[in-house]
Amino acid sequence: MKSTLALLALTTALTLPGLAVARPVTLTTTLRNYGGDGAYLVLYVTDPSGAYAGTLWMAGDKSKYYEHMSDWYRATGGDPAQINGITGASVGAGRTLEITLDLQDALFDAGYTLHIDAAVEDMRDSPREVSVPLTAAGAGQAVAGRRYIANFTYGF
Q: Mind listing the pLDDT tens digit for each residue in 58-78?
A: 999 899 999 999 999 999 999
The model's pLDDT over 13-24, given as tens digits with 9 standing for 90+, comes to 454 444 579 999
Q: What is the CATH number of the domain that holds 69?
A: 2.60.40
DSSP codes of every residue in 50-109: S-EEEEEEEE---GGGGGGSHHHHHHHTT-GGGTTT-EE--B-TT-EEEEEEEEEGGGTT
The tally of domains found in the chain comes to 1
User: Which residue range forms the structural domain that includes residue 49?
Assistant: 2-155
Q: pLDDT tens digits for 107-119?
A: 999 999 999 999 9
pTM of the prediction? 0.87
Task: Give pLDDT, residue 84.
Answer: 87
CA-CA-CA-CA torsion sign (34, 124, 27, 59): positive
Strand partners, 31: 149
pLDDT at 1: 45
CA distance 143 to 124: 20
Distance CA 87, CA 115 (A): 16
